[in-house]
Structure 1
Amino acid sequence: MKAVKILLGFALWLGTGVAIAAYIGNKKQDKTAILAGQGFAVVELFTSEGCSSCPAADAVVAKIEKESAGKPVYILAYHVDYWNRLGWRDAFSNAEFSRRQNTYADWFNLSSVYTPQVVVNGRTEFVGSQEGQLRKAISDGIAEAGKVQLSLSDIRINNNKASLNYDVQAASGNTSLVLTLVQKQATSAVKAGENKGRNLSHVQIVLKLQNIPLNRTSSGNAEIALPKNFSADNYELIAFVQDTKTGTVQAAARAALPASTNS
């Protein structure tokens, strides 16, 4: 009986050792995969306060934004203007954002635009409230090593404008730098339209957008206007390199804004 207990104890010890070794091996593999991946995910949400289906997508994006702190996930919420005619004018809406969505419709060969729509890295699009599909698209983007390099530096504020230097390396032809000014969060009390009576929360709201043509290797300076209620802690700059023929995003970066005015 004693011999049986010893053999059983040895078997348990051996099994535990194998399990620990497997666990350590898996952890090393996971760590290697994370270190090897130099990818990113640019998540563009097309939304509107006038659309009753949009708050669900806004909530999904807000959850992912909170979980993605410190990760190469760049969320941009564009409020389109074509819902405004149905009873509620979205204060964050802009015809330029509607035009951008129509450009994506051309790139994806879609017959029409819709909200809420999400586009990830300019490669895939789907209904913005589909959380599982969004998480997979983000994971796929981060896992794919990028070849193009984008850096933002020397961020300054002067005369109600933010300026920065950008540097792009190894971009393909027909690309542009898309520079956005983003308000990190806001709330709205909707008084008409499909969301009448609701208090809506928003994150990563795009306020300004501009496109700067690039060469394969390109550097320069850009400026973007700031709103009157600007406060550094609630705004940031997000920029990305995009193929102007296919819509594919090749690199992305973000920059915090300084709290004080620079001369």
Structure 2
Amino acid sequence: MKMNMTVAGALIVFALVTAAFISSSIASRKLQHIEPKGNSFAVLELFTSEGCSSCPPAEELLAGIQAQAAGKPIYVLAYHVDYWDRNGWKDPYSDAAFSKRQVDYSRQFAGQVYTPQLIINGQSECIGSDAGAVRNALSAALRTSAANTLQLSGEIKPGGADLEYALDNDPSNCYLLVAVVQRSATTNVKGGENEGRILPHVQLVRGLETMNLKGHKTGHIHVKLPAGFNTREWEITGLVQQNSNGAVTAAAHATLQ
């Protein structure tokens, strides 16, 4: 069948423009810094596991805080540790790197390593399901002025995210930690202490990158993106943390726009 050349040409141009638009929207997405309100923040790092029967109440408590955190300088990070994986259920979100982060923290907290453990701004810890202790620690953190301010921006590209950071003050003796966070997930647990339960999760850390800042107030870092990365349901969180005592001095979100 013959086709009118004018119509054919128009269709070809339309197809090329459409393909270019789709390709560009997938290949490169801008990350924009989200400016928090106020000059304080609270970073809540929960160490948890699907294999731990004491952990779901802690995750539920953190989910409530996360739901109320919109527009507030509250950063919730849930690390699924791997040392529970030997007890009848392998947590699909567990990672040895997350267990190591908890062990590193334990040097500040009399060697305590347990789940559900919540660490606040790298400076205090409590049982993650203790609502009173968690709320008190959160309030105390939000009453403390931030020592620094972090801005995080960049682009999502095939194979990872290229991020740029900027700090207001000198970050000597500090490192930058960037967490790739899945906002929500659900698991039907088929073994271990939570066998038969359907567990909802929020703010799951799925990837970590760290970089020694060496006193540089600006710079860039490349972050690998985990399998299943979804540009609508994931976010990137950055922390600036002191090497000496673990204190978090700045935090920021960067979400896809």
Give your verdict on TM over 0.5: yes
**CA deviation map 1:53-112 (0-9, x unaligned):** 0001000000000011110000000000000000100000000000000000012222x4
Q: Alpha carbon RMSD of aligned pairs, Å?
A: 1.3
What percent of counterpart residues are identical? 45
Residue 109 of structure 2 corresponds to which residue in structure 1? 108
Relative to structure 1, the CA distance from residue 132 to residue 151 in structure 2 (aligned partners, 3 Å threshold; closer, same or farther) is same
Residue 151 of structure 2 corresponds to which residue in structure 1? 151
Q: Per-residue deviation at 1:39?
A: 0.5
Q: How does 1:45-194 map to 2 (within 5 A)?
A: 45-110=46-111, 112-153=112-153, 155-194=154-193
Distance in structure 1 (CA, Å) of the matches to 2:48 and 2:87: 15
TM-score normalised by length of structure 2: 0.83
Secondary structure at the aligned position of 2:193 is classed as coil
Distance in structure 2 (CA, Å) of the matches to 1:172 and 1:217: 7
- 5+ unaligned residues in a row in structure 1: which ranges? 1-34, 259-263
Contact 1:152 1:165 in 2 (8 A): yes
Q: Per-residue deviation at 1:255?
A: 0.5
Distance in structure 1 (CA, Å) of the matches to 2:99 and 2:175: 19
Q: Per-residue deviation at 1:229?
A: 2.0
Distance in structure 2 (CA, Å) of the matches to 1:248 and 1:230: 29
Secondary structure at the aligned position of 1:180 is classed as strand
Distance in structure 2 (CA, Å) of the matches to 1:199 and 1:147: 41
Q: Which moved more, 1:155-164 or 1:237-246?
A: 155-164
Amino acid in the other structure paired with 1:43: L
Amino acid in the other structure paired with 1:88: W
Distance in structure 2 (CA, Å) of the matches to 1:165 and 1:172: 15
Amino acid in the other structure paired with 2:195: K
**CA deviation map 1:25-60 (0-9, x unaligned):** xxxxxxxxxx8x510000000000000000010000
Q: Per-residue deviation at 1:228?
A: 3.0
Contact 1:78 1:205 in 2 (8 A): yes
Distance in structure 1 (CA, Å) of the matches to 2:238 and 2:130: 25
Residue 257 of structure 1 corresponds to which residue in structure 2? 256
Contact 1:169 1:216 in 2 (8 A): no
Q: Per-residue deviation at 1:171?
A: 3.9
TM-score normalised by length of structure 1: 0.81
Contact 2:118 2:127 in 1 (8 A): yes
Q: Which runs of 4+ in 1 moved over 3 A?
A: none
Q: Per-residue deviation at 1:172?
A: 4.7
When Rg is computed on C-alpha atoms for both structures, the one with the higher figure is 1
Distance in structure 2 (CA, Å) of the matches to 1:74 and 1:130: 18
Contact 2:148 2:169 in 1 (8 A): yes
Aligned residues: 221
Secondary structure at the aligned position of 2:58 is classed as helix
Secondary structure at the aligned position of 2:232 is classed as helix
Contact 2:40 2:143 in 1 (8 A): yes
Q: How does 1:218-233 map to 2 (within 5 A)?
A: 218-233=217-232
Contact 1:181 1:206 in 2 (8 A): yes
Distance in structure 2 (CA, Å) of the matches to 1:58 and 1:102: 20
Secondary structure at the aligned position of 1:84 is classed as coil
Secondary structure at the aligned position of 1:107 is classed as coil
Q: Which has the higher helix share?
A: 1
Relative to structure 1, the CA distance from residue 175 to residue 144 in structure 2 (aligned partners, 3 Å threshold; closer, same or farther) is same
Residue 9 of structure 1 corresponds to which residue in structure 2? none
Distance in structure 1 (CA, Å) of the matches to 2:45 and 2:150: 19
Distance in structure 2 (CA, Å) of the matches to 1:64 and 1:104: 23
